[in-house]
Structure 1
Amino acid sequence: MSCYRFINAERGHYPVRRLCPVLGVPASGYYAWQTGQQRAVNQQTPAWETALVKTFGVHQRRYGTRRLQVALRQNGHAVGRQRLRTAMCRRGLHALQPKAYTPRTTDSTHGLRCAPNRLLDQPKPTQANQVWVSDITYLPLANGNWAYLRAFQDMGTKHVVGRTRQGWHVGATMPEELVTTALQRAFFAQSPTPDLLVHSDRGGQYCGNAYRALLHRHGAVRSQCRRGECYDNALPGTTQAESLWSRLKTEVLELREWPVFADLANAPASIADYFDYYNHDRLHSSIGYQTPYRAHQQLLQTKCLHKIKQGIRASC
Structure 2
Amino acid sequence: MKIVADLRDRFGVEPILRVLGVAPSTFYDWLAREAEPGERELLDRGLLTEIVDVHDRSGATYGSPRVHATLRRRGIRVGRKRIERLMRAHGLQGAFLRRGWRGGSTKQNPKATPAPDLVDRDFTAPGPNRLWVADATRIVCGDGVLWMAAVRDVFSNRIVGWKTSDRCNTDLVLGAW
Aligning the two structures, in what range does the TM-score lie when normalised by the shorter sequence?
0.5 to 0.7
Contact 1:66 1:81 in 2 (8 A): yes
What is the CA-CA distance between 1:52 and the residue it aligns to?
A: 1.4
In the alignment, what sits opposite 1:71? 70
Correspondence for 1:110: 117
Q: For 1:74 and 1:26, how far apart are their aligned partners in 2? A: 45
Root-mean-square deviation (Å)? 4.3
Q: What does 1:263-302 align with in structure 2 at a 5 Å threshold? A: 265=165
Superposed displacement of residue 53, structure 1: 0.8
User: 1:120-159, aligned counterparts within 5 Å?
Assistant: 136-137=136-137, 149=147
Q: Specify the alignment match of 1:214 in structure 2.
A: 156
Q: 1:11 to 1:56 in 2, by over 3 A?
A: same
As a proportion of its length, which structure holds more strand? 2
Deviations 1:42-66 (A, max 9, x none): 9425443321110111121232333
- Deviation of 1:75 (Å): 0.9
The residue aligned with 2:4 is 6
CA distance in 2, matches of 1:179, 1:213: 12
| Contact 2:62 2:94 (8 Å CA) reproduced | yes
**Alpha-carbon distance between aligned partners in 2 of 1:66 and 1:29, rounded to the nearest angstrom:** 35
- What's the secondary structure of 2:7's corresponding residue? helix
**TM-fit CA distance, 1:32:** 3.0
1:71 aligns to what SS in structure 2? Answer: helix
- For 1:244-263, list aligned pairs within 5 A: none
Q: Are 2:32 and 1:35 aligned?
A: yes
Are 2:86 and 1:87 equivalent residues in the alignment?
yes
Partner of 2:55: 56
Is the contact made by 1:64 and 1:95 (CA closer than 8 Å) also made in structure 2? yes
Quote how far apart the aligned CAs of 1:19 are: 3.9
Q: Structure 2 unaligned runs (5+)?
A: 109-113, 124-134, 140-144, 159-163, 168-177
| Greater relative contact order structure (CA < 8 Å, 6+ sep) | 1
* Larger Rg over CA atoms: 2
- State the distance in 2 between where 1:22 and 1:85 align: 34
Instruction: Pick the structure with more helix per residue.
Output: 1
- How far the C-alpha of 1:29 sits from its partner, in A, is 4.2
| % identical aligned pairs | 19
Q: TM-score, normalised by structure 1?
A: 0.33
Partners of 1:103 and 1:53 lie apart in 2 by: 34
Q: Output the CA distance in 2 between the equivalents of 1:57 and 1:82.
A: 20
Q: What is the CA-CA distance between 1:80 and the residue it aligns to? A: 2.7
Using the size of structure 2 for normalisation, the TM-score is 0.52
CA–CA separation in structure 1 for the residues paired with 2:29 and 2:65: 39
Helix, strand or coil at the partner of 1:214: coil
| Aligned mates of 1:21, 1:92 — CA distance in 2 | 26
CA displacement, residues 68-103 of structure 1 (integer Å, 9 cap, x when unaligned): 222111111112322222111111112122353342
List gaps (5 residues or longer) in structure 1: 117-134, 140-146, 150-169, 172-177, 181-210, 218-263, 268-316
State the aligned residue count: 135
Alpha-carbon distance change, 33 to 50 in structure 1, aligned in 2, over 3 angstroms: closer
